[in-house]
Amino acid sequence: MKIATIGLGYIGLPTAVMFAKHGQEVIGFDTNKEVIARLQSGCIHIEEPGLQEAFQGVLANGLLRPVSQLEPADTFIIAVPTPHTEDHSCDTRYIRQAVKDVIPLLKTGNTIILESTVAPKTTTGVIQPMLEEAGFTVGVDVHLVHCPERVLPGQIMTELVHNNRIIGGVTPACANAGEAVYQTFVEGEMLLTDASTAELSKLMENTFRDTNIALANELVKLSTELGINALNVIEMANKHPRVNIHTPGPGVGGHCLAVDPYFITIAAPEQTPLIQTAREINSSMPEYIAESVDTITNNTAKKVVILGAAYKGNVDDVRESPALKIAEYLQQRGIEVHVYDPHVAYYNMNPETAFANADMAIIATEHDEFKHLPISLLTSMATMQIFDTKNIFEGAHEELTYITLGTLHRYSNASSFSHKKSLGRR
Ligand code: SAJ
Write the CA distances from 31 to 35, 37, 420, integer angstroms. 8, 11, 57
Report the domain count for the chain.
2
Site to substitute for ligand 1 among 114, 199, 206, most atoms within 8 A of C-beta: 206
Q: What is the pLDDT of residues 105-153, one digit of tens each?
A: 999 999 999 999 999 999 999 999 999 999 999 999 999 999 999 899 8
Residues 262, 377, single domain; the answer is: yes
Residues 184, 212 within the same domain: no
Show which of 133, 160, 188 is a domain's final residue. 188
Q: Whose CA is nearest to atom 38 of ligand 1?
A: 256
Q: How far is the CA of 191 from the centre of ligand 1 (A)?
A: 22
Are 138 and 216 contained in the same domain? no
Q: d(Cα 250, Cα 217) in Å, to the nearest integer? A: 8
Atom 27 (ligand 1): residue with closest C-alpha?
152
User: What pLDDT is attached to residue 255?
Assistant: 87
Query: Which of 149-158, 188-197, 335-344, 359-368 has the weakest average pLDDT?
Result: 149-158
Evaluate whether 360 touches 386 at the Cβ level (below 8 Å).
yes
- The reply to whether 202 belongs to the active site is yes
> Are residues 65 and 209 both part of a single domain?
no
CB 44 less than 6 A from any atom of ligand 1: no
What atom in ligand 1 is closest to the CA of residue 210?
Answer: 14
- Looking at residue 125, the DSSP 8-state letter turns out to be I
For the stretch 178-204, pLDDT in tens is 999 999 999 999 999 999 999 999 999
For residue 405, name the pLDDT band (cuts at 50, 70, 90): very high
pLDDT (tens digit per residue) in 141-171: 999 999 999 899 889 999 999 999 999 999 9
Q: How confident is the model at residue 416 (pLDDT cuts 50, 70, 90)?
A: very low
Are 270 and 368 members of one domain?
yes
174 is catalytic: no
Would you say the CB of residue 391 lies under 6 angstroms from ligand 1?
no
Assess whether pLDDT exceeds 70 at residue 418: no
Q: Which amino acid is at 281?
A: I
Residues 211 and 292 in one domain: yes
Whether residue 254 has its Cβ less than 6 Å from ligand 1:
yes
With cut-offs at 50, 70 and 90, classify the pLDDT of residue 426. Answer: very low
State phi, psi for 143 to the nearest 5 degrees.
-110, 140
**Ligand 1 atom with the shortest distance to the CA of 315:** 24
28 lines ligand 1 (CB under 6 A): no
| Ligand 1 midpoint to CA 1 (Å) | 33
Nearest C-alpha neighbor of 335 from the set 386, 399, 367, 290: 290
Is the CB of residue 290 below 6 angstroms from any atom belonging to ligand 1? Answer: no
Q: Is the pLDDT of residue 390 over 90?
A: yes
What is the atom index within ligand 1 of the atom nearest the CA of 205? 31
pTM, rounded to two decimals: 0.91
CATH number at residue 352: 3.40.50.720
Single out the residue of 79, 62, 54 nearest to residue 27, CA to CA. Answer: 62
Ligand 1 pocket check: which of 115, 162, 209, 343 to mutate, most ligand atoms within 8 Å of Cβ?
A: 209
Domain finish residue from 138, 159, 188: 188
Contacts 24+ apart (CB under 8 A), 405-410: 405/220, 405/230, 405/231, 405/248, 405/249, 406/220, 406/223, 406/229, 406/230, 406/231, 406/232, 407/229, 408/220, 408/224, 408/292, 408/295, 408/296, 409/223, 409/224, 409/225, 409/226, 409/227, 409/228, 409/229
- pLDDT band at residue 83 under the 50/70/90 scheme: confident
Residues 255 and 281 placed together within one structural domain of the fold: yes
Of 158, 188, 218, the position where a domain reaches its end is 188
For residue 89, pLDDT beyond 60: yes
Confidence of residue 413 (pLDDT cuts 50, 70, 90): low
Residue 2: CB atoms within 10 A of its CB come to 14
Distance (Å, whole) CA 82 – CA 116: 7
Averaged pLDDT for residues 211-234: 98
- Same structural domain, 276 and 315: yes
Query: Domain range spanning residue 419?
Result: 194-426
How far apart, in whole angstroms, are the C-alpha atoms of residue 319 and residue 338?
18
Q: Is there a single domain that holds both residue 89 and residue 107?
A: yes
The verdict on 181 and 202 lying in the same domain is: no
What is the pLDDT of the chain when averaged over all its residues?
95
pLDDT band at 412 (very low <50, low <70, confident <90, very high): confident
Q: How close is the Cα of 207 to the center of ligand 1, in Å?
A: 10
Active-site option among 21, 90, 202, 325: 202
Cβ-count burial of 176 within 10 angstroms (0-12 exposed, 13-18 middle, 19+ buried)? middle
- For the chain, state the CA radius of gyration: 24
User: What's the pLDDT tens digit per position in 9-30?
Assistant: 999 999 999 999 999 999 999 9
Kindly state whether residues 198 and 106 are assigned to the same domain: no
Q: Are 367 and 389 in contact (CB under 8 A)?
A: no
Question: In this structure, which residue's CA is closest to atom 9 in ligand 1?
Answer: 252
- For the chain, helix (H) and strand (E) counts, in that order, are 16, 13
419 torsion bin: left (phi>0), alpha (psi -120 to 50), beta (else):
alpha
- Residue 414 shares a structural domain with residue 378: yes
